[in-house]
Amino acid sequence: MTDLSPPATPGRYSWSRIKEHPSLVIGGGMVLLIVLMAVFAPVIAPHDPLAQNITARTIPPVWYENGSWEHILGTDQLGRDYLSRLIYGARVSLFIGFAAVSIAGVIGTVLGLLGGYFGGRIDSFVTFVTTIRLSLPVILVALAVVAVFGGSITIVVIVLGLLKWDRFAVVIRATTAQIARLDYIRSAQAAGASTFYILTREVLPNLTPQLIVIATIEIASAILMEAALSFLGLGVQPPTPSWGLMISEAKAYMFFSFWLIAIPGLALATLVFAINMAGDGLRDLISPDRRG
Amino acid sequence: MLIYLSKRLGLSVLVALFASILAFSLLRLQGNAASALAGEGARPEDIALIIQTYGLDRPLVVQYLSWLGDVLQGDFGTSYFFRSPVADLILAKVGNTVILALASLSIALCLAIPLGVLAAVYSGTWIDRICVLISLMGQALPSFFLALCLIMVFAIKLRWLPASGDASWRHFVLPALTLGYYITPPFMRLVRAGMIDALGNDYVRTARAKGLPGYRVVTKHALRNALVPVVGLVAVQLGLLIGGSVVIESIFALDGLGYLAYQSIGYRDFPVLQAVVLLLAVVYVVLVLLADLVNAWIDPRLRVS
Amino acid sequence: MTLLTVDKLSVDFGRGATALHAVRDLSFCVAEGETLCIVGESGCGKSMTSLAIMDLLPRIARRSVAGMTMGETDLTRPGGIRAVRGNQMAMIFQEPMTALNPAFPIGDQMTEAYIHHSGATPAAARARAIEMLNEVGIASPEKRLGQYPHQLSGGLRQRVMIAMALMTSPKLLIADEPTTALDVTIQAQILRLLRDLQKRLGIAIIFITHDLGLVSRIADRVVVMYAGTRVEEGNVAEIFDNPRHPYTRALIDCIPQPGKTERGAMLGTIPGVVPAMIGDVRGCAFRTRCALATAGCEGVIPTHGTGSHQWVCLHETTLQEGTT
């Protein structure tokens, strides 16, 4: 019921308001750091992430006895610098997360807007399509599609984009249905505004808070899914550094070099944790009445 | 009620049907099924033979309809790879997956309900914050990473539990723990939100005004109503668990439906894959339907409509 | 004999300069078998007072009280309120629609606390519930016990609430606006029921309402609250025939009185709203809306009167002249 946020007042999302939500500041700050790291990967990374060095294989990170500052996080089974691969891996995760969710967001928002605004048969159709989508096992379908079309970043983005729109559709449909009954939409209709105008200028801007919150949740989930697909060998293909793929490649060396798994694993966990935390903070900022 | 039920049933059947069409056409979109089956370096006449045997040269619609007709008669076809009826394969493996799903669900509920209630009763305090932190961390840990960590600790270092297989109940402990922890956060959040909501209700105040002890107010009056949405989530998560255990079953080499699906993807074993996707879609719609019925039982207000 | 004594009760939300004082230094007592009405506008703290007595305040509220006893029991101790609540002291609420749990049948909700307090068997509790439903005038009570709240009308639900409250034979019933959410005809029935029950069972009632019209029909004594504090207290005749505080007078002017109010004449209204009592509060809270307000109203306000009739106002004499 409280999904509708009160009308925005000046300074509603100002820094002083944001400061009151520590989870948003901490989570958002962490996400920003990782994004910067991904953007400036060529500058920051100490080595070429793809350069193999057979003589320097599985060197442990610097805090181990035989580690060295040359390779701060050590090297992998092919002698590639692990820190550089980790930094470039952030690019893959973030790009796939953002790109897939952009596609999903457009599909889900359009479906949700149409169903929620028009109701009736269109709404039944939207609900039906959403139910079908929900009945399909995401991981399995994604795996199958990647298997048929071959693994690449593009395929993963498209598959996840086509599969992850359900939450957008459900939430946007419900919220649009609420907004469509409000007086200012009625008055816009009465004034003869076109449906397209009403949907894009009157309804959509009011959905922005919800969209942002769902997008953060879905980006985190898409990043985890990419990692899982790549881990199973049906996602991003070697030698591209993807965190899921790095864990998969290191699996065989798990017993002696567990850090090969722990480092990308913790990197994934940190990124997803930061995004979810920022998402929680955003939700609190947007609808303070929902806080417990 | 009967009309409502039959309407819902009809819709469920339709959903499953469309899901199967989607899965079917998705897998056939790329035409080289036959060459994939024959393997690399197959002679053209072998490929032609495969195409003829499996009827892959017929139009997609015809292929689908003939498959659907067989399915309706209980014939899910024959696995390309295992060379045995798909129905037998699935029946042999579904047990493991159901055990795993139920075990993980029990673990998740045993964790999520107490933690969620605790977080709600003490909402805003440090107890609440710790519970929320646990849930955030659970959401952030990739399930396969958690699985490898558990294997490292309990199977390799401590040697308490086996790392792979499905011979005894001990083989199910690590996979169930992994999946259970993985699905705990959404339940915990829902229980917490539902409890905060329920605890603010007038009837909870009435129960306290009647002089009932605090634990009775929380466990009987508030929890009962907070659990209504949890039932729906159980249905959804159980469906996801049965379909989503692909990753975990593969890591632990637990021979269930997910592992079978993973293998059949690798072998382009379309009859198996189609059957599994159809089965999972049916399981999902049935579970959602069941959840609605259970909700009607929990919340008497819903019984009338 | 005095049943309930409340001494200097305060309820605050928050602390320091932004603290909201919902109830300020409120003292009153209730004698056995009498009806005390606490009356005031919405937001004057009367509901908070009732919740504070029952120790049911929301967690963000802070209660402080110099003393509060029910008979021999000290209600400020956790053990004290636990022994009394729902047993000797029961409560009914404003919203019968939401005050009953939708998930359980009426019978279950009526008997659970009775079983807890008295240790009765379920069968005995059921018999007691049927007896109580009869008492509040509900037909075919056996059938009702198995029904769910949503199957009953608002008036019936409030009767069930009353029956439920009476299960343990309480000495005191706190009724927080029990008729506000009901239709006027049902209102009258519930009111009659309460009065009737009180006569037969000899229970004391704290009746909380914003409706002075109801007060005249049910009260023995009246406490008039304004902005969290008591402005006047007296028995019903004193309050209605000789109101001494300007706020009480204004309230009474707002009720149409058959025979007294002239046809076509304007009913009284009180300009403005109850001010929120935030931060450091001093002086008379009513001065912002009071026609008699002077600079002195910002200072210490004396309490006048002796015996049962007391009022808190600077202008003792002015008002006496104004009252005819």
3-state helix, strand, coil in chain C (%, to 5): 40, 25, 40
The CATH number of whichever domain residue B91 belongs to comes to: 1.10.3720.10
Please list, in sequence order, all residues whose beta carbon lies within 8 angstroms of the beta carbon of residue C262, skipping any fewer than 6 positions away.
Answer: none
Are residues C212 and C313 located together in one domain of the fold?
yes
Query: Is the pair B, A in contact (3+ CB pairs within 8 Å)?
Result: yes
Interface touch C86/B210, C-beta < 8 Å: yes
Residue A35 burial class via C-beta count within 10 angstroms: exposed 0-12, middle 13-18, buried 19 and up: middle
Are residues C73 and C196 located together in one domain of the fold?
yes
Strand C221-226 to C172-176 pairing: unpaired
Are residues C153 and C186 located together in one domain of the fold?
no
Identify which of C1, C66, C63 has the alpha carbon closest to the alpha carbon of residue C34: C1
With a CB-CB cutoff of 8 Å, which residues 39-68 of chain A face chain B? none
Are residues C160 and C178 located together in one domain of the fold?
no
DSSP code at position A13: T
Kindly state the helix (H) or strand (E) to which residue C112 belongs, with its residue range.
helix C106-118
Q: Which residue has the higher pLDDT, B186 or C263?
A: B186
Please report the ipTM that was assigned to this predicted complex.
0.82
Is residue B109 included in any domain, yes or no? yes
Are residues C7 and C63 located together in one domain of the fold?
yes
Query: What number of other Cβ atoms are within 10 A of residue C272's Cβ?
Result: 10
Interface touch A227/B247, C-beta < 8 Å: no
Q: Is a pLDDT exceeding 50 seen at residue A3?
A: no
CA angle C203, C209, C212 (to 5 degrees): 105
Averaged pLDDT, B84-88:
82
Q: Pull the structure tokens for residue B28.
A: 């056939």
Q: Chain B contact for C112, CB < 8 A? A: yes
Q: What is the pLDDT of residue C206?
A: 92
Share of chain C above pLDDT 90, in %: 7
Tell me the Cα Rg of chain A: 22
Residue C65 · residue C76 · CB < 8 Å? yes
Averaged pLDDT, B120-130:
85
Identify which of C231, C192, C174 has the alpha carbon closest to the alpha carbon of residue C30: C174
Q: Chain B contact for C88, CB < 8 A? A: no
Nearest-Cα distance to chain B for A174, in Å, is 17
CB pairs < 8 Å spanning B and C: 73
CA angle B167, B169, B170 (to 5 degrees): 90
Q: Which of A128, A140, A228 sits opposite B261 (nearest CB)?
A: A140
Interface touch B212/C86, C-beta < 8 Å: yes
Share of chain B above pLDDT 70, in %: 88
Averaged pLDDT, B131-153:
85
Q: Could you give the number of structural domains in chain C?
A: 2
Q: Which residue has the higher pLDDT, A51 or A203?
A: A203
Query: Is the pair A, C in contact (3+ CB pairs within 8 Å)?
Result: no
Q: Chain A contact for B17, CB < 8 A? A: no
For C11-36, b where at least 16 C-beta lie within 10 A, e where not — what string? bbbeeeeebebbbbebbbebeebbbb
**Hey, which of B15-29, C209-223, C287-301 has the most confident mean pLDDT?**
C209-223
Using alpha carbons, list the distances in angstroms from residue C44 to A74, C29, C72, C228.
69, 19, 30, 5
Q: Pull the structure tokens for residue A190.
A: 């009465």
Interface touch B281/A228, C-beta < 8 Å: no
Q: What is the pLDDT of residue A289?
A: 46
Interface touch B205/C56, C-beta < 8 Å: yes
CA atoms of A152 and A234, how far apart (whole Å): 9
All partners of chain C with 3 or more CB pairs under 8 angstroms: B
Q: Is a pLDDT exceeding 60 seen at residue A181?
A: yes
Q: Is a pLDDT exceeding 50 seen at residue C193?
A: yes
Strand C89-92 to C172-176 pairing: parallel
CA atoms of B270 and B37, how far apart (whole Å): 10
Q: What is the pLDDT of residue B39?
A: 58
The CATH number of whichever domain residue C66 belongs to comes to: 3.40.50.300
CB pairs < 8 Å spanning A and B: 143
Q: Which residue has the higher pLDDT, B41 or C193?
A: C193
Kindly state the helix (H) or strand (E) to which residue A100 belongs, with its residue range.
helix A82-118
Q: Chain B contact for C98, CB < 8 A? A: yes
Nearest-Cα distance to chain C for B192, in Å, is 17
Are residues C159 and C17 located together in one domain of the fold?
no
- How far out from the chain centre does Cα A230 lie? 16
For B27-61, b where at least 16 C-beta lie within 10 A, e where not — what string? bbeeeebbbbbbeeeeeeeebeebbeebebeeeee
Please list, in sequence order, all residues whose beta carbon lies within 8 angstroms of the beta carbon of residue B269, skipping any fewer than 6 positions away.
Answer: B79, B80, B81, B82, B263
Are residues C123 and C134 located together in one domain of the fold?
yes
Averaged pLDDT, A18-40:
85
Averaged pLDDT, B226-231:
82
Interface touch B26/A131, C-beta < 8 Å: no
Share of chain A above pLDDT 90, in %: 11
Averaged pLDDT, B247-267:
85
CA atoms of C297 and C287, how far apart (whole Å): 6
pLDDT band of C322, cuts 50, 70, 90: very low
Q: Is a pLDDT exceeding 50 seen at residue B257?
A: yes
Residues from chain C that touch B301, judged by Cβ atoms under 8 A, are: 102, 148, 150
Please list, in sequence order, all residues whose beta carbon lies within 8 angstroms of the beta carbon of residue C127, skipping any fewer than 6 positions away.
Answer: none
Q: What is the pLDDT of residue C324?
A: 39
Strand C229-235 to C303-304 pairing: unpaired
Residues from chain A that touch B242, judged by Cβ atoms under 8 A, are: 137
Q: Which residue of B has its CA nearest to A265?
A: B145
CA angle C55, C56, C59 (to 5 degrees): 105
Instruction: Provide residues of B within 8 Å CB-CB of chain C.
Output: 201-203, 205-213, 216, 220-221, 224-225, 298-301, 304
Q: Which of B202, B209, B224 sits opposite C103 (nearest CB)?
A: B224
Q: Which of C56, C103, C161 sits opposite B225 (nearest CB)?
A: C103
Q: Mapping DSSP to helix (H, G, I), strand (E, B) and coil, where does residue C1 land?
A: coil
Q: Mapping DSSP to helix (H, G, I), strand (E, B) and coil, where does residue B169 land?
A: coil
Nearest-Cα distance to chain B for C106, in Å, is 12
pLDDT band of C62, cuts 50, 70, 90: confident
Is residue B17 included in any domain, yes or no? no
Averaged pLDDT, B37-65:
70
A206-244: pLDDT as tens digits: 888 888 888 988 999 899 888 888 888 888 888 888 888
Q: Chain B contact for A142, CB < 8 A? A: no
Q: Is a pLDDT exceeding 60 seen at residue B144?
A: yes
Sign of the C-alpha dihedral, residues B159, B165, B166, B168?
negative
Residues from chain B that touch A262, judged by Cβ atoms under 8 A, are: 149
Q: Pull the structure tokens for residue B17.
A: 């049907």
Q: Which residue has the higher pLDDT, B235 or C208?
A: C208
Q: What is the pLDDT of residue A111?
A: 92
**H helices of C9-100, where?**
46-54, 78-84, 96-99
Strand C2-13 to C172-176 pairing: unpaired
Q: What is the pLDDT of residue A14?
A: 67
CA atoms of B3 and C246, how far apart (whole Å): 64
Q: Which of B201, B207, B301 sits opposite C150 (nearest CB)?
A: B301
B123, B206, B219, B227: best mutation site toward chain C, by most C Cβ within 10 Å?
B206
DSSP code at position C220: S
Q: What is the pLDDT of residue B305?
A: 44
Q: Which of C82, C93, C117 sits opposite B202 (nearest CB)?
A: C93
A127, A130, A136: best mutation site toward chain B, by most B Cβ within 10 Å?
A136
Interface touch B246/A292, C-beta < 8 Å: no
Q: What is the pLDDT of residue C37?
A: 92
pLDDT band of B38, cuts 50, 70, 90: low
Biggest CA-to-CA distance, chain B: 84
**H helices of C202-324, where?**
212-218, 236-241, 246-253, 316-322
Question: Which residue range forms the structural domain that includes residue C149?
Answer: 102-167
Interface touch C86/B209, C-beta < 8 Å: yes
Interface touch B15/A254, C-beta < 8 Å: no
Interface touch B300/C101, C-beta < 8 Å: no
Interface touch B246/A143, C-beta < 8 Å: yes
Residue B215 · residue B204 · CB < 8 Å? no
CA atoms of B28 and B268, how far apart (whole Å): 10
Residue C57 · residue B209 · CB < 8 Å? no
Query: What number of other Cβ atoms are within 10 A of residue C297's Cβ?
Result: 18
A62-94: pLDDT as tens digits: 777 777 777 777 777 777 888 888 888 888 889
Q: Could you give the number of structural domains in chain B?
A: 1
Residues from chain B that touch C93, judged by Cβ atoms under 8 A, are: 202, 205-206, 209
Interface touch A141/B140, C-beta < 8 Å: no
Share of chain A above pLDDT 70, in %: 92
Share of chain B above pLDDT 90, in %: 2
Averaged pLDDT, C271-296:
76
Q: Of C119, C152, C167, which residue constitutes the final position of a domain?
A: C167
Are residues C151 and C213 located together in one domain of the fold?
no
Nearest-Cα distance to chain C for B297, in Å, is 9
CA atoms of C269 and C253, how far apart (whole Å): 8
Are residues C286 and C219 located together in one domain of the fold?
yes
Q: Is a pLDDT exceeding 80 seen at residue B116?
A: yes
Q: Which of C86, C93, C148 sits opposite B211 (nearest CB)?
A: C86
Are residues C206 and C149 located together in one domain of the fold?
no
CA angle A46, A47, A50 (to 5 degrees): 150
| Paired strand residues for C175 | C92, C207
**H helices of C136-183, where?**
141-145, 154-166
Q: Of C137, C167, C197, which residue constitutes the final position of a domain?
A: C167
With a CB-CB cutoff of 8 Å, which residues 260-289 of chain B face chain A? 261-262, 265-266, 268, 273, 276-277, 280-281, 284-285
Averaged pLDDT, C128-142:
88
Q: For tokens 């109850």, what's the residue?
A: C274
C100, C101, C160: best mutation site toward chain B, by most B Cβ within 10 Å?
C101
A86-115: pLDDT as tens digits: 888 888 889 999 999 999 999 999 999 898
Nearest-Cα distance to chain C for B180, in Å, is 29
CATH number for the domain whose boundaries are A37-290: 1.10.3720.10
Kindly state the helix (H) or strand (E) to which residue B26 belongs, with its residue range.
helix B2-28
Mean pLDDT across chain C, nearest whole number? 83
Interface touch A147/B137, C-beta < 8 Å: no
Q: Chain B contact for A292, CB < 8 A? A: yes
pLDDT band of A157, cuts 50, 70, 90: very high
Query: What number of other Cβ atoms are within 10 A of residue C219's Cβ?
Result: 23
Q: What is the pLDDT of residue B168?
A: 76
Q: Which of C56, C116, C148 sits opposite B212 (nearest CB)?
A: C116
Residues from chain C that touch B298, judged by Cβ atoms under 8 A, are: 103
Are residues C66 and C84 located together in one domain of the fold?
yes
Are residues C228 and C307 located together in one domain of the fold?
yes
Q: What is the pLDDT of residue A104?
A: 93
Interface touch B22/A136, C-beta < 8 Å: yes
Identify which of C102, C89, C154, A291 has the alpha carbon closest to the alpha carbon of residue B201: C102
Is residue B14 included in any domain, yes or no? no
Q: Is a pLDDT exceeding 60 seen at residue B282?
A: yes
CA atoms of B304 and B293, how far apart (whole Å): 12
Residue C180 burial class via C-beta count within 10 angstroms: exposed 0-12, middle 13-18, buried 19 and up: middle
